[in-house]
Amino acid sequence: MSLRIALLGMLAAGGPTSGYDLAKKFDGSLSHVWPARHSQIYPELAKLAADGHATVRDEGSRGRKLYELTPAGRDFLDEWLRSADPAPKVRSESSLRLFLLPLLPPEVAVPLLRAEASRYAEQARVLAAERDARQPPDTPGRNGWYAADLGVRNFTAIRDWATATADHIEALPRSGMDGKV
Amino acid sequence: MSLRIALLGMLAAGGPTSGYDLAKKFDGSLSHVWPARHSQIYPELAKLAADGHATVRDEGSRGRKLYELTPAGRDFLDEWLRSADPAPKVRSESSLRLFLLPLLPPEVAVPLLRAEASRYAEQARVLAAERDARQPPDTPGRNGWYAADLGVRNFTAIRDWATATADHIEALPRSGMDGKV
DNA sequence: AACCTCATGTAACGGGTTACATGATTTC
DNA sequence: GAAATCATGTAACCCGTTACATGAGGTT
């Protein structure tokens, strides 16, 4: 379901869009939330059209197809957004790694945590620049300012955790057990 | 790969464990990072044993099998933790929803954002209590304090975003366009 | 005896990734 | 005219979810 929602959302936010351009969004801002490849996007767009949630508005050059959201698609999207799933699923390989890094011996874990901290700081910096390039929206939902702001806050929180955790491990008295077990 | 890593990590952190008990962890703290069901865990544990990354140390009553990490499994885990993937994948249905909420008309979006803010505040509160019940570890990697702390920071960041976004939308001058487009 | 929890497994299906495949247009 | 980019699609495989299935041991 989520891929469908993400596609409808992009069509709602950006107007008529081709599969090719949607794929670029899924490789950019959306990649931090719900990544997808063109091989998945094209078939899903076809299903969207079959279900009446989108229509092909134009066929441009090179076989380019512009998909447009239908009222039914918009309703479907709105309904999904209104009804909160109490236990939505998260699957994050990066958090899994952060989760487990403290298992390594301190002299290995600390530098890795510091490296992660600066990677996330950098990602936050880049996203913040993107966010600030767009000015804060005066029509809500337009132009992805809020989405970028969410990303910045997430990256910053992770950077803070990595720094605090590295500091904390570093401050521990050395034991002989090397963090094994 | 990630399921395997998560299993090895849990075996590294908790010593010999049964599939049944591992499944409970994947339903608890790990559910925010890498959820998994027993139907996926049991076959993967069998593969782990087949690949020499874990062994069945004991068979208890009721067919209970205690899996133990082997040195090869530990090496495999360490190697994975040391080598950072520059673009690790995240898939989060909840963030997707937050991402798209500002598409709704302000009078709908603002209450939903406030509801999300209090849900995340509550989640942060619960996790913080769990974290503080365990004291900060004096052996790194033990007892999941760092993991819980990461969760708290994430939830808090999202709550802050939802609040700030609701405030921001609320402060906008009313336009006639209802956030559609 | 009935019921609950512990404990492990399998099978069918759906969603996602990687790789394969093709052709049109633009740029050098 | 060669190469890069635009643009769409399909197929095989892997991973994850839901549902089905079974039995042991403890509780009332």
CATH of the domain at B28: 1.10.10.10
- State whether A116 and A71 are in the same domain: no
The token duo for B58 is 């004991």
- State whether B77 and B113 are in the same domain: no
Asked whether A119 and A162 are in contact (CB, 8 A), the reply is no
When pLDDT is averaged across residues B155-174 and rounded to a whole number, the result is 93
Confidence of residue A179 (pLDDT cuts 50, 70, 90): very low
Contact B111/A at CB under 8 A:
no
Residue B30 lies in a domain: yes
Length of chain B as a residue count: 181
- State whether B56 and B120 are in the same domain: no
Chain B: closest CA distance from residue A132 (Å):
15
Q: To the nearest whole number, what is the mean pLDDT of chain B?
A: 91
What backbone torsions phi and psi does residue B83 show, to the nearest 5 degrees? -95, 105
pLDDT tens-digit map of B66-75: 999 999 999 9
- State whether A100 and A131 are in the same domain: yes
Give pLDDT, residue A144.
84
Counting the structural domains of chain B, the total is 2
Q: What gap in Å lies between CA A148 and CA A30, rounded to an integer?
A: 10
Residue B88 lies in a domain: no
Number of separate helices (H) and strands (E) present in chain B: 7, 4
pLDDT tens-digit map of A106-142: 999 999 999 999 999 999 999 999 899 887 776 665 6
State which H helix or E strand residue A67 sits in.
Answer: strand A65-69
- State whether B73 and B107 are in the same domain: no
Please judge whether B112 and A81 are an interchain contact, meaning their C-beta atoms are less than 8 angstroms apart: yes
Give pLDDT, residue B61.
83
Question: Does A181 have pLDDT greater than 60?
Answer: no
Among residues B25, B56, B82, the one where a domain terminates is B82
When pLDDT is averaged across residues B79-86 and rounded to a whole number, the result is 90
Residue A179 lies in a domain: no
Chain B: closest CA distance from residue A92 (Å):
4
Among residues B82, B113, B133, the one where a domain terminates is B82
- State whether B106 and B144 are in the same domain: yes
Give pLDDT, residue A180.
45
Q: What gap in Å lies between CA A93 and CA A108, rounded to an integer?
A: 20
Give pLDDT, residue A98.
95
Please judge whether B106 and A78 are an interchain contact, meaning their C-beta atoms are less than 8 angstroms apart: no
When pLDDT is averaged across residues A95-103 and rounded to a whole number, the result is 94
Contact B2/A at CB under 8 A:
yes
In this complex, which residue's CA is closest to the C1' atom of nucleotide D17? B37
Among residues A27, A58, A82, the one where a domain terminates is A82
- State whether B119 and B68 are in the same domain: no
pLDDT tens-digit map of B5-62: 999 999 999 999 999 999 999 998 899 999 999 999 999 999 999 999 999 998 888 8
pLDDT tens-digit map of A9-44: 999 999 999 999 999 999 988 999 999 999 999 999
Residue A27 lies in a domain: yes
Q: What gap in Å lies between CA B82 and CA B157, rounded to an integer?
A: 27
- State whether B129 and B105 are in the same domain: yes
- State whether B167 and B97 are in the same domain: yes
Question: Does B140 have pLDDT greater than 60?
Answer: no
Give the CA-to-C1' distance from A164 to D14 in angstroms. Answer: 37
Q: What gap in Å lies between CA B100 and CA B172, rounded to an integer?
A: 18
- State whether A61 and A126 are in the same domain: no
Residue B154 lies in a domain: yes
Buried b or exposed e, range A145-167, using 16+ CB within 10 angstroms: bbbbbbbbbbbbbbbbbbbbbbe
Q: What gap in Å lies between CA A161 and CA A12, rounded to an integer?
A: 35
pLDDT tens-digit map of B119-133: 999 999 999 998 998
Residue A178 lies in a domain: no
- State whether A73 and A131 are in the same domain: no
Residue B176 lies in a domain: no
Strand pairing class (B17-18; B65-69): antiparallel
User: Would you tell me the crossing angle of helices A106-133 and A145-171 to the nearest 10 degrees?
Assistant: 160
- Domain range for A44 is 2-82
- State whether A100 and A160 are in the same domain: yes
Confidence of residue B100 (pLDDT cuts 50, 70, 90): very high
Residue B56 lies in a domain: yes
Structure-token match 């503080």, residue found:
B132
State which H helix or E strand residue A23 sits in.
Answer: helix A19-27
- CA proximity to A41, closest of A27, A29, A57, A62: A27
Give pLDDT, residue B35.
97
Buried b or exposed e, range B117-141, using 16+ CB within 10 angstroms: bebbbebbeebbebbeeeeebebbb
Please judge whether A92 and B95 are an interchain contact, meaning their C-beta atoms are less than 8 angstroms apart: no
- Across the interface, of B97, B160, B180, the residue whose CB is closest to A88 is B97
